[in-house]
Amino acid sequence: MTTPLLEMRNIRAGYGIIDVLHGVDLVLEPGSVLALLGPNGAGKSTTLAVASGQIQPSGGQLLIAGREVNGAKPDALARAGVCLVPEGRGVFPNLTVAENIRMMTFSGTSYGEVADKAYELFPRLGERRRQLAGTLSGGEQQMLAMARAMATDPALLMLDELSMGLAPIIVEELYSQVAKLAEGGLSILIVEQFAQTVLGVADRAAIMLHGRITRTGPPSEIAEELTAAYLGIDSGGH
């Protein structure tokens, strides 16, 4: 069996004295796409914050490529190839598009390379390279945020609520890019509240409720159980 790219063993974490994750176990195999689904407040974003080093777990083990990285800083993980596109628009609103792209070069890819790739994938960004990112439309901002994932060749990509607040046609476009990345063999962890789009891309899916993973399985099986999960009925099974 190959070493999982990302593994969480009984991870506990929270904000101050409030615990949000009560023992999360999660495995992402290399080259696979895992969709993490669940209602508001289930702890999905916190899981990503732990995996990217933004929140330190109070218990459990966080392993990346088999190595324990508890306590690693987010910038160190980012330079090591862990790429999180955070919830909302992951862009710097007061920097221009080109400057945003320059910010993507800390993990080792050269500016020219990142810029060429980003503008090729999303030509609209090329047209607006001198514009402040904060003045782009929601979809364009999300494209810019995705450009980091697409152009910097990360080892692990994590996407948080990619579809939030975007028109369906744009969501479709973004997910077609995600599918391309997945075909290229990138390991991806996707967090979404609305499941239909993401289940088409994922190899496996997990349901998260009240700070725990309650069910893991193939997307087709998970799809059936989602409604129950969203209504707050724990379908059992671990």
Partner 1 sequence: MKRFQIRTSLLVALGAALASLTILVWRYGADTEVSSEKIVVATVVGLTIGALYSLSATGLVVVYTTTGTFNFAHGGIGVFSAFVYWEIVENRTGPELPQWLGLLLVVLVVAPALGVAIDVILMRRLRDAPLVVQLMVTVGLMVFLLTLTGQIWQADKIRGVSFFWEGQGFSIGEQKVAWHRFANLVIAAIIAVFLRILLFRTRMGVAMRAVVDNRDLTALNGARPGALSAFAWALGSSLAALAGILVAPEVEFNPTNLNSLMLIVAISAAAFGQIRSLPLTVVGGLLIGLLESYNREWIDLGADFPFAGRAVAPIVLFLVVLALPQARLSVGRVSNNLRPIERTTHVWEGAVGAVFIIFMGWAIARGALHFLVWDPGEWSSVSLNKGISAMVLALIALSLVPLTGWAGQVNFAPLAFAGFGAFLFLRLGLWFGVPDTGGTGNLVWLPVIGLLCAPLGALLAVFAARLSGLYLALLSLAFALITSNVLFPHPQVFPRVHTFPSPYLDVGLFRIDFDSRFSFFMLLMTMFALGMFCLVVLRRSRYGRRWVAMQDSQAAAATVGVNVIWTKIVVYATSSAMAGMAGVLWATSKSTVDFRDFDLLNGLTIVLLMAAAGMSFPVAGLFLSFQFVFEGLAERLEQTGNVGFLVWLLKDFLAKFGPGMLAIGMVVNQRGAIFEMGKGFAPLLPWRDDARAELAAERATKREAEIGGLGLTEPFTSEAVVGLDSALGIVDDVTPGAGYRHGVARPMESTHD
Which spans of this chain sit near partner 1 (rule: CB under 8 A)?
17, 19, 22-23, 52-54, 73-75, 78-79, 83-84, 86, 90-95, 99, 102-107, 111, 148
In angstroms, give the least distance from the CB of 22 to partner 1.
Answer: 6
Q: Compute the distance between CA of residue 108 and CA of residue 102 in angstroms, rounded to an integer.
A: 11
When the beta carbons of 84 and 198 are compared against partner 1, the nearer one is 84
Cβ atoms of residues 155 and 188 within 8 Å? no
When the beta carbons of 63 and 95 are compared against partner 1, the nearer one is 95
When the beta carbons of 1 and 17 are compared against partner 1, the nearer one is 17
When the beta carbons of 5 and 83 are compared against partner 1, the nearer one is 83
* 184: its two tokens: 């290229």
Residue 226 DSSP SS3: helix
Cβ atoms of residues 182 and 188 within 8 Å? yes
In angstroms, give the least distance from the CB of 44 to partner 1.
Answer: 17
Q: Compute the distance between CA of residue 149 and CA of residue 157 in angstroms, rounded to an integer.
A: 7
In angstroms, give the least distance from the CB of 17 to partner 1.
Answer: 4
In angstroms, give the least distance from the CB of 169 to partner 1.
Answer: 26
214 backbone dihedrals φ, ψ, rounded to 5°: -100, -20
Q: Compute the distance between CA of residue 164 and CA of residue 76 in angstroms, rounded to an integer.
A: 28
